[in-house]
Amino acid sequence: MSAKARKKSPTATKVKKEKEVSKVKPEVKPEVKLIPVYVMGKRYEVPEGLTLMKAMEYAGYKFIRGCGCRGGTCGACGTVYRKPGNYKLQVALACQKTVEPDMHMAQIPFFPANRAQYEFAELTSAPEEVFKLYPELFRCVACNACAKACPQGIEVMDAISALKQGNIAEAALLSFECIQCGLCTSRCFGELAQYHMFQLARRIYGARILPRAEHLAEMIKAINEEKYDDILDELKHVKKDELQKLYQEREEEPVTAGEDWKPKDKKYL
């Protein structure tokens, strides 16, 4: 067989490909470091860097409750833990905190707390509304254990103090980032349901105290008068490409614009 024929031989081609494959370096997987943790008192080894929630799932736990958004906003995964050499009980959201070697942890997916029953439409902005629904408010001894247990860093005791003084607006603003996890209640010596009180305060503040936006009222009136019906109907029949072009070429509000800014084209105002 000639040299030229040997080059075209299927056997020769196959041998060449096998040699090329043998030269490819095997994929090197990064080494995963396992660390010991204790869940409900039982020891497990889990990969370093996992959140408490993922570590528990890695250990074999299946969440049927105590797991919601996984993004730190729903408050369903309140967790308490202790670290070796530290007597203090720490708190965290299981979806946010990462595991540490030899930490002992346990979830508190729900902590019993009484929630007052009320018809919100009948409530006013008077402080007495909160006093009447949550008389235990005045059992607060100002120990600040609630604030220390808050994974959101809310000054819980200050918000409770504002409610005791009848300042619903201040309490609503101080507790604005409350995610209803209930960890404050689990540590309260006065047996208060702080997060339920804060929810009521924010509802009263939003509906009865916060000034109404004038421009919102004007817009609602314009909608009710069918001012935008023809414009919306026209947009419904615009082709996708043209609609995309309209969106991309629209006049955008500058980042530094003041409250009185308005677009040059006032067709949609």
Residues 111, 182: contact at Cβ < 8 Å?
A: yes
For the cut 70, the answer to whether the pLDDT of residue 12 exceeds it is no
For the cut 60, the answer to whether the pLDDT of residue 7 exceeds it is no
- Report the distance separating Cα 106 and Cα 61, nearest Å: 12
Query: What are the boundaries of each domain within the chain?
Result: 34-107, 111-243
pLDDT digits (tens, 9 = 90+) for 34-70: 999 999 999 999 999 999 999 999 999 999 888 889 9
**Residue written as tokens 């299946």?**
62
Class in CATH terms, 111-243: mainly alpha
Amino acid (1-letter code) at residue 111: F
- Report the distance separating Cα 146 and Cα 10, nearest Å: 77
Q: What is the CATH number of domain 34-107?
A: 3.10.20.740
For the cut 60, the answer to whether the pLDDT of residue 209 exceeds it is yes
Neighbours of 244 (CB within 10 A): 11
For the cut 90, the answer to whether the pLDDT of residue 213 exceeds it is no
Q: Give the range among 172-186, 234-248, 254-268 with minimum mean pLDDT.
A: 254-268
Residues 92, 150: contact at Cβ < 8 Å?
A: no
Read off the pTM: 0.72
For the cut 80, the answer to whether the pLDDT of residue 15 exceeds it is no
Which DSSP symbol is given to 51?
Answer: B
- Report the distance separating Cα 202 and Cα 171, nearest Å: 8
